[in-house]
Amino acid sequence: MHPFFDIRRLERLPGTRPNRWDWLLLPLVLGFLVILAFGAKEMATPYSVGQPLPISLDPSYLPYYLLRTTLRMFIALAASLVFSFVFAAVASKSRTAEKILVPMVDILQSIPILGFLSITVTGFIALFPGSLLGVECAAIFAIFTSQAWNMALSLYQSIRTVPSELNEAARVFRLSGWQRFWRLELPYATPALLWNMMLSMSGGWFFVVASEAITVSNQDIKLPGIGSYIAAAIDQQDLHAIFYAIIAMAVGILMYDQLFFRPLLAWADKFRFEDTQGNTAQQSWVLDLLRRGKLTRALSLGLAQRGERALGWFRRGYDGTSVRARVRAANPLRERMVDALLTALALLAIWRLAEFVHAEVGWSEALRVLGLGAITLLRVMVLIVLASVVWVPLGIMIGLRPRLSQRIQALAQLLAAFPSNLLFPLAVVAIVAFNLNPEIWLSPLMIFGTQWYILFNVVAGASTIPSELRYAADNLGLKGWLKWKRFYLPAVFPSFVTGAITASGGSWNASIVSEVVTWGKTTLTATGLGGYIAEMTEKGDFPRIALGIGVMCIFVMGLNRYFWRRLYLQAEKWSR
């Protein structure tokens, strides 16, 4: 056994003998490992398509369902983090890669989660025949698609808006691209990335019903989890079971907020871009407990050192003085070739789309779907504006007050995780009882689960404003609207743009379940692209499903390219 993992050797080292805090942590760590092993074992049980997986509405099953759902979400979160590192590092370093990867993410975030499931579930089941692991992987991948884009865009935006003085210092020290990423860009982006990780977990809760209730080969598969429990409760119109599910979600969110996210946020305070933390430091009783334990502190330091060495092979030839560390000049010829290739691919896609429309659905149907997309676009933009008016000021106020942020952090995660499906009963009953117009009053369901992208990103942006700048604004006598216009709003603008992009994409996805709402025998429908896709999905009309999803991708990409990306460029100018 390696001496680092030999506890008896560690005990003989000075300052590493376990103290009472280590013995207090020991049962917690062992209990966590046992629960993790049990959950992993349940994910790989034997299974064949067609075998029933009954979901009980007995509340005593909720702890088990909560464990299964939370484990899926954390696995998807880990995969999303790796994807974010690769995407942000490559897209921010290469203009050629940026022209390909950023539109690719725009397309992927506009594809409904049901579209991913229908494509991937059969492949995952074939990859793990005779095991439940294939269906589990399909559910995890679906949750991944609800988490990854927000985190990737947040990290990409943070890297693109690193302050100019830090970039100049990196050039002076001649850091390589790898060194710049790990020593400068990732630490600078860590606080905002952690807030977006919390939001991505909540986004996973929002789509957990769709990811755990899967249809394949005309078979309905409901994986054990909170999402399947909610789906069964809605099918049986059991309000008591829905209430129990909400309580279980609240308990789960509170637990991983206290045990995982809050310690990370407190630890990430050391990456704040300022000389002094002042009164902005986050607090975590778990992190304090870990820091008090001598053995746990020694273990964490040892793991960090070995992780640093494990990554060291990436830096061979990158000693800070290598020619590779120098900034490379842009290659106009290569960029023109890439632009020509992308233009050719776009023209080919347009040609194939025209052939598909002409052969499968007809031009009149395509024009009708474009009109439906314009209606949904209007709803999305109006809701984004309304959500921004509400949450940008509140997000700035919360981000500037760490104590207030810590108090409402778990509550904000619970509200962001609240599946809109649970509001369907209230929406249907209220609209029918008061004879309201579904075209208007179903629209808030689109933004309910996605408005939190704006709040969390603005909170993250406000929390990273250096104390020195705040003191300077006070010394200059900035007050009232002038202070908001000249200081607060420009400071959080890059974070707001990231939140608005992901909120917009999420709203388009949410339109599929929000423009057609069913409770019992009552169904309410609002005119729009989401309702069209839901209707064609129910009928099994695959050409029109493809047409609806394709039109949604066109609208999302056009909105991102000609509106949000221009705001991104403005944010980059303000950050320099």
> What does the pLDDT read at residue 115?
63
AA letter at 418: F
Say what the pTM is.
0.78
Q: What is the percent of the chain with per-residue pLDDT over 70, rounded to a whole number?
A: 83
Question: Does residue 178 come out as left (phi exceeding 0), alpha (psi in the -120 to 50 range) or beta?
Answer: alpha
DSSP reduced 3-state for 520: coil
Cα gap 459→262, rounded to integer Å? 15
Residue 425 has, within 13 A of its CA and on its CB side, a CA count of 15
> What does the pLDDT read at residue 318?
42
DSSP reduced 3-state for 478: coil
Cα gap 80→200, rounded to integer Å? 9
Cα gap 55→57, rounded to integer Å? 7
DSSP reduced 3-state for 560: helix
Task: Using pLDDT thresholds of 50, 70 and 90, give the confidence band for residue 372.
Answer: very high
Closest CA to 288 of 307, 268, 263, 310: 263
**Phi/psi of residue 94, each to 5°?**
-125, 120
CB-neighbour burial class of residue 321 (10 A; exposed 0-12, middle 13-18, buried 19+): exposed
Mean pLDDT of 96-105: 82
Residue with tokens 């979901």: 55
Quick: pLDDT tens for 428-448.
Answer: 788 888 888 888 888 888 877
Task: Using pLDDT thresholds of 50, 70 and 90, give the confidence band for residue 490.
Answer: confident
pLDDT over threshold 70, residue 323: no
CB proximity list for 30: less than 8 A, separation 6 or greater: none
Where do the domains of the chain lie?
74-272+280-303+362-575
Q: What is the percent of the chain with per-residue pLDDT over 90, rounded to a whole number?
A: 11
Task: Using pLDDT thresholds of 50, 70 and 90, give the confidence band for residue 419.
Answer: low
pLDDT over threshold 90, residue 72: yes
Task: Using pLDDT thresholds of 50, 70 and 90, give the confidence band for residue 523.
Answer: confident
Is CATH 1.10.3720.10 what the domain over 74-272+280-303+362-575 is classified as, yes or no?
yes
Closest CA to 195 of 468, 456, 385, 7: 456
For the residues of 313-382, what is the DSSP string, one character each?
Answer: GGGTT-SSSSGGGSPPPP-HHHHHHHHHHHHHHHHHHHHHHHHHIIIII-HHHHHHHHHHHHHHHHHHHH
Q: Count the residues in the chain.
A: 576
Closest CA to 516 of 435, 439, 448, 422: 439
Cα gap 5→125, rounded to integer Å? 38
| Separation in Å, CA 1 to CA 7, 227, 311, 416 | 10, 43, 22, 45
